[in-house]
Structure 1
Amino acid sequence: MKTMQQLLLLLTAASSAGGIPLSRAPPSNKLLLVSFDGFRWDYDQDVDTPHLDQLGRDGVKAKYITPPMLTMTSPSHFTTVSGRWVEDHEVVHNMMFDAKTNLKVSHRETLTRSEWWDNGVLPLWITAQNQGLKTGSFYFPGGAANYSGQAVNRVVVEDPKPPNETEWRQNIDTVMSWFSDEDFHLVTLYYGEPDRVGHAKGPDHQDRKTIIRQIDRTIGYLREAIARHQLNDSLNVIITSDHGMTTVKKRPQVEELVLNKYLNLLKLASFEILDYGGFGILTPRPGKEQEVFNALSKAPNLTVYKKNELPESFHLAKSERLPPIVVVADLGFNLNSRLIFYVNKGDHGFHNGEMDMKTIFRAFGPDFKKNFVSEPFDSIHIYPLMCKVLQIEPAPHNGSLAVTQNLLHSGGGQRAPRSVCLLLSLLSLLCTFTLL
């Protein structure tokens, strides 16, 4: 017995000296989260997509995903990586703004402004890092910000120049090297298509179908790269998006919305963002809130809300950043404040219950089932699923693992920590020693 105790102490000391903590060790499996901006749930149904089709056989597929209300890039992406509703994480627009000072910052500049993103809610990168994991963000919205003074371990900020297919593949090669050569555990990878082509040409245009074929080839290249870097047995991949896309309704088919026809914005409003797709916000001048509400209530093809009366399902009413008046246009009707200068042929920002705003979900890897089709679910539930795969304790969130647990193998995301494996090996060794 004395010899066994000595062996136990010796092996325990050796494991500690080797840098393997007995409390927790990094997971054996890793996670790549990929977002294709504006990939509507049905975009693969009118295009030949052999690689996406193969993913359906090799992994899991949801019939569609419902993004949060707001169906915009930054609010939706931050819900995915935080598991919080927009009213909680407060990234309430693509543009950073201050209704009191009339500050408005472009979307691209907002991506690097920490004060817009850091509101007390920790995204997955930081939660994972605080539990010993190594994380990276490649172009992903929110990845370039600091959170309570903490930065993501590795960040590449989106290039304003639209990339070509070769650059898409180079980005994949870079991310794969992070996993295989530098032992990253979590990386988020963002592509700006098919959102760009959806805005410029509309969701029904042939160019959109061309981009979907390019995305499909990129997914094929991703799978080749995973195999080339010998990550098939250790890397889980989730592919999703932030919102869908719909055709903008214009003259002569419809009468376009110009809100200044229904109220004098100069006289009644002190702040506004009303030329940004299907979602608008407005701060009335003191004492004018009811007048503004009544005037906009008479406008066609939109719904106006007082912030404190927003439907509970929107999860927006508790926001401190949103102004007192919120306007949501009917599907396809862009909001114009004074002039019609909106050139987009496709847009989003509309009610998240509209099918054109729904988006995609695919996942594959060692923890996920094969050839499994899931019923639709809200994107907020992706966060606890990612935490489960990474074997980390989630930060407070509004999602539920019960919604997505069935996407995993029984036991998926439940591998024993390395410390437990060490102790089991030690026990086996002791048993063998005793038999000898």
Structure 2
Amino acid sequence: MKCFLLIFLLISAFGELSGRSVHRAKKRQVDECEALNATPEECSAYWAGEKPPLLVVSLDGFRPDYLQRNVTVNGVEEPAALLLNRLSRCGVFSPTGMTPVFPSLTFPNHYSIVTGLYPESHGIVANSFYDPDLNASFSLSSPQQTNPTWWIGDPLWYNVKRQGKISATCFWPGSDQTDPVRAPNYWLQYDDTVTYSERMRLVFDWLILPVSQRPNFVTVYLDEPDHTGHGESPDSPLVADQVRIVDQELQALFDNMEQVGILGCVDVIVLADHGMAPSPPGEKFLIMNDYVPNILNDARIYDGVFSTIRPKLDTEEEHDRIAGGLQCQDDNMRVYNKWDFPRRHHYANTNRIPNILVDMTVSWRAYAKSEWILRGNHGWDNLNNEMQAMFVAHGPSFKKNLQVRPFHNIDLYNLMCAMMEVDPSPNNGTWGALHHMLVSPPADPSPEPLTPISKLPFPADEATYNEHLMRKTCSLLTGSNTQSIDSTLNLTESATNAALQMHTPWGTPQTKDTTQIKTVISTDYVTAFDVVSGLPSWTSFTINQPRLTTAQPQWRLDVRLEETHASICDRFPDGIDSTWSVVPLFPFDTPSNSADVAVDTNAIEISKPFETYWNEFHAMLNRSVETNGETNVIVGPVRDSPSPGLFFVVSTCRSNGVALADCPVDQLDMQSFIMPTNVRYSRDCIKFTAFFNAHLASLPDVEHLTGIRFFPALPYGDKADILSRTPLASTLLVNPDPSTL
């Protein structure tokens, strides 16, 4: 079906629009940005009491730096993207781009943009994959891709439609599924013979329909410059030629809107799904069959820049045989059990993702048996600079001349819902994360009330002290309790308040269940302890100078816990074997209170191989403190997961001499990590820097995984600012771009 064929009589619609007062005479020569704008008075007839229409244009594989590419016209070099550069100067622009979801592929990212969901949640986990529950395969060319069973979650066009508004899509992935209820009001079956000009003409025709038929939400997809980037390499001058073509098509749409007087009356987002990196033929690839003979016969494999392997014999031994044959064969190939895969990828929690994942350094590929040739590709770690996606926005709802830092593309869904006053479905984004882009953002929701966490006091008398010493012990506890040693835990009220102010400068982190979580407060750190499971929930401390890590503590009972409270001895009543180590969450020796480190509420178990990463992380933290000064660290275990781990949230203030609690949010520097502590594969060959880089996380990643709410005392807008940051926002401890390793 051709895009320019409509079921509406567009001539009459155009006539109706032209007769309105919204039609303006051609603008005089004015400032380049002013010419793109319109006043509410000029747009009021077109809007007819509705919010401005929202148009989203996807230019597949458009890297942010493509805006700097030039073409030669009549012997003169000029920017290839004249209009897009103009929009970037006049509207909202992310110079380093928008961060795609992992894997950085076309279908997963397009569907994440319109659902706000990660691929593990919306089901489109790659461009091609197998579902063992359906016993069927999904691919771009298969008729299966229109089956609604594959597509999970509520795409925005469905939210718009079911809430009484109108949606239209031209070739957006997922819009041509066969469920008429969930389909947009206007949509087309994908047809790559429909020209870009025809697609843009259709968009224009939709935008000038009578208001009762006009879409509130419109999307259109163009497959360049992705196609040329694959075939010729992203470094080819032919990419700039395609940038010029798509820019001119967009300019033609803007010219048409100007002719009928609606330029500046439509909100426009121009974005990409991902970037592109070189994949040089004949080099930078590995053949998996060289390491695991007959691997194609033994497993279902989707290979290339990122590989998934599903052994046909579904046993732990077979998984270990295949993964073991691949692990540590090359520094550019990392083999994971999916539950150990970096949590920031959100790539585990569905049967559509098999247990063995092969992650490659950017530009490297792993093939099952033989290379397949593409000069450019994508799908690698979404923090790679080359994988970032272009983002530009302009229109009456957007601020002018605003540059923004990188953000997660899943946060666009909530932004677009807010712009159209559409209620969002449950999603993985953060409400308010991108409201700073808007001229008139929705009011911040009421902050969640802070729930006080009960403090475990020091025993009030000797009888209570002795009663607390009756708690379960085990061979792990080799230290002795004496009242003189334990007395350092007995803080006055003023000392308690000082410790809380020092070590929890943005409020005490909040947990969902406060009935079994209690705080134990020491001079040098604060811990929230689960007295039922016997695990610390989190430990928070602030240091302002490098400190030596403590020697192996002589663990002893924390006498603030009552006799019925659980601790590490309830998990290891017979002691611990040689595959584990017990380490202190607050790990530093202190001049006056070193004994406080050795209480069992400060103890956590980690696998023996992880101990080297643990020690290196704290050495790295000390180096950072030496450079950056006062630093707050919140650390705790990751529970309720098939792969045990630890999280870290590390924060400092870029403004010298400003206390952490008083640090302006734009000066607050933070990096978060979620580290698996018992990695199944490749643990002996991943270097420290690569490990820490891989296991960076955003703050929402940590909050969602742990159920802990950090920075609870910050105003909602400041907290949303922090939640909107991708790992690319900070280099506090490690450089987040994997390509720099």
TM-score, scaled to structure 1: 0.82
3-state SS of 2:422 partner:
coil
1:353 aligns with 2:383: yes
Deviations 1:152-204 (A, max 9, x none): 2111222234x6xxx31221111121121131111110000111000000001
Of stretches 131-140 and 176-185 in structure 1, the one that deviates more from structure 2 is 176-185
* Cα distance change on mapping 1:265 and 1:128 into 2, 3 Å: farther
Supply the distance in 1 between the matched residues of 2:417 and 2:134 (Cα, whole angstroms).
39
Q: CA deviation at 1:103?
A: 4.2
Tell me the residue number matched to 2:57.
Answer: 34
* Cα distance change on mapping 1:324 and 1:147 into 2, 3 Å: farther
Deviations 1:287-340 (A, max 9, x none): 301111111113322111111222111111212211111112211112211112
Conserved in 2, the CA contact under 8 Å of 1:99 and 1:283?
no
Supply the distance in 2 between the matched residues of 1:125 and 1:104 (Cα, whole angstroms).
26
Conserved in 2, the CA contact under 8 Å of 1:37 and 1:241?
yes
* Cα distance change on mapping 1:110 and 1:193 into 2, 3 Å: farther
Deviations 1:108-133 (A, max 9, x none): 335742245432x1010101111111
1:202 paired residue among 233, 242, 248: 233
1:298 aligns with 2:331: no
1:239 aligns with 2:270: yes
Deviations 1:75-96 (A, max 9, x none): 0111100001111111101125
* Cα distance change on mapping 1:148 and 1:219 into 2, 3 Å: closer
* Paired letter, 2:364: F
Tell me the residue number matched to 2:577.
Answer: none
Q: CA deviation at 1:413?
A: 6.7
Structure with the larger RCO, 1 or 2 (CA within 8 Å, 6+ apart)? 1
1:404 paired residue among 434, 439, 449: 434
1:45 aligns with 2:73: no
3-state SS of 1:136 partner:
strand
* Paired letter, 2:234: P
Supply the distance in 2 between the matched residues of 1:118 and 1:50 (Cα, whole angstroms).
37
2:92 paired residue among 60, 63, 84: 60
1:381 aligns with 2:408: no
3-state SS of 2:254 partner:
helix
Supply the distance in 1 between the matched residues of 2:379 and 2:355 (Cα, whole angstroms).
18
1:395 paired residue among 416, 425, 429: 425
Q: CA deviation at 1:220?
A: 1.5
2:202 paired residue among 141, 154, 174: 174
Tell me the residue number matched to 1:429.
Answer: none
Conserved in 1, the CA contact under 8 Å of 2:169 and 2:186?
yes
Residues 82-101 of structure 1 correspond to what in structure 2 (within 5 A)? 82-99=115-132
Supply the distance in 1 between the matched residues of 2:355 and 2:366 (Cα, whole angstroms).
17
**Residues matched between the structures, number:** 379
Tell me the residue number matched to 1:367.
Answer: 397
Supply the distance in 1 between the matched residues of 2:105 and 2:196 (Cα, whole angstroms).
23
* Cα distance change on mapping 1:148 and 1:323 into 2, 3 Å: farther
Conserved in 2, the CA contact under 8 Å of 1:110 and 1:116?
no
Supply the distance in 2 between the matched residues of 1:122 and 1:255 (Cα, whole angstroms).
39
* Cα distance change on mapping 1:105 and 1:26 into 2, 3 Å: farther
* Cα distance change on mapping 1:221 and 1:227 into 2, 3 Å: same
Supply the distance in 2 between the matched residues of 1:114 and 1:263 (Cα, whole angstroms).
35
1:317 aligns with 2:348: yes
Tell me the residue number matched to 1:283.
Answer: 310
Supply the distance in 2 between the matched residues of 1:319 and 1:110 (Cα, whole angstroms).
22
Q: CA deviation at 1:391?
A: 0.9
More helix by share: 1
Tell me the residue number matched to 1:73.
Answer: 106
3-state SS of 1:154 partner:
coil
Tell me the residue number matched to 1:13.
Answer: none
3-state SS of 2:300 partner:
strand
* Paired letter, 1:376: P
Conserved in 1, the CA contact under 8 Å of 2:108 and 2:125?
yes
Supply the distance in 2 between the matched residues of 1:158 and 1:35 (Cα, whole angstroms).
15
Tell me the residue number matched to 2:192.
Answer: 160
- CA RMSD, 1 decimal: 2.2
Q: Percent identity?
A: 28
Conserved in 1, the CA contact under 8 Å of 2:131 and 2:351?
no
Residues 250-289 of structure 1 correspond to what in structure 2 (within 5 A)? 250-251=281-282, 254=283, 256-266=285-295, 269-274=298-303, 277-284=304-311, 285-287=313-315, 288-289=318-319
Supply the distance in 2 between the matched residues of 1:335 and 1:180 (Cα, whole angstroms).
49
* Paired letter, 2:286: L
Tell me the residue number matched to 2:175.
Answer: 143
Deviations 1:368-393 (A, max 9, x none): 11111111111111111111111111
3-state SS of 1:338 partner:
coil
Supply the distance in 2 between the matched residues of 1:52 and 1:136 (Cα, whole angstroms).
23
Supply the distance in 2 between the matched residues of 1:343 and 1:297 (Cα, whole angstroms).
25
* Paired letter, 1:68: V
Of stretches 124-133 and 173-182 in structure 1, the one that deviates more from structure 2 is 173-182
* Cα distance change on mapping 1:124 and 1:267 into 2, 3 Å: closer
Supply the distance in 1 between the matched residues of 2:129 and 2:51 (Cα, whole angstroms).
39
| Structure 1 unmatched ranges of 5 or more | 1-24, 415-436
3-state SS of 2:275 partner:
coil
Conserved in 2, the CA contact under 8 Å of 1:38 and 1:242?
yes
Of stretches 310-319 and 124-133 in structure 1, the one that deviates more from structure 2 is 310-319
* Cα distance change on mapping 1:177 and 1:148 into 2, 3 Å: closer
3-state SS of 2:432 partner:
helix
Tell me the residue number matched to 2:584.
Answer: none
Of stretches 230-239 and 66-75 in structure 1, the one that deviates more from structure 2 is 230-239
Tell me the residue number matched to 1:126.
Answer: 158
* Paired letter, 2:314: P
Supply the distance in 2 between the matched residues of 1:83 and 1:261 (Cα, whole angstroms).
40
TM-score, scaled to structure 2: 0.49
| Structure 2 unmatched ranges of 5 or more | 1-47, 71-78, 444-741
Supply the distance in 1 between the matched residues of 2:147 and 2:277 (Cα, whole angstroms).
31
Supply the distance in 2 between the matched residues of 1:384 and 1:111 (Cα, whole angstroms).
29
2:363 paired residue among 316, 332, 338: 332
Supply the distance in 2 between the matched residues of 1:264 and 1:29 (Cα, whole angstroms).
59
Conserved in 2, the CA contact under 8 Å of 1:259 and 1:299?
no
3-state SS of 1:317 partner:
coil
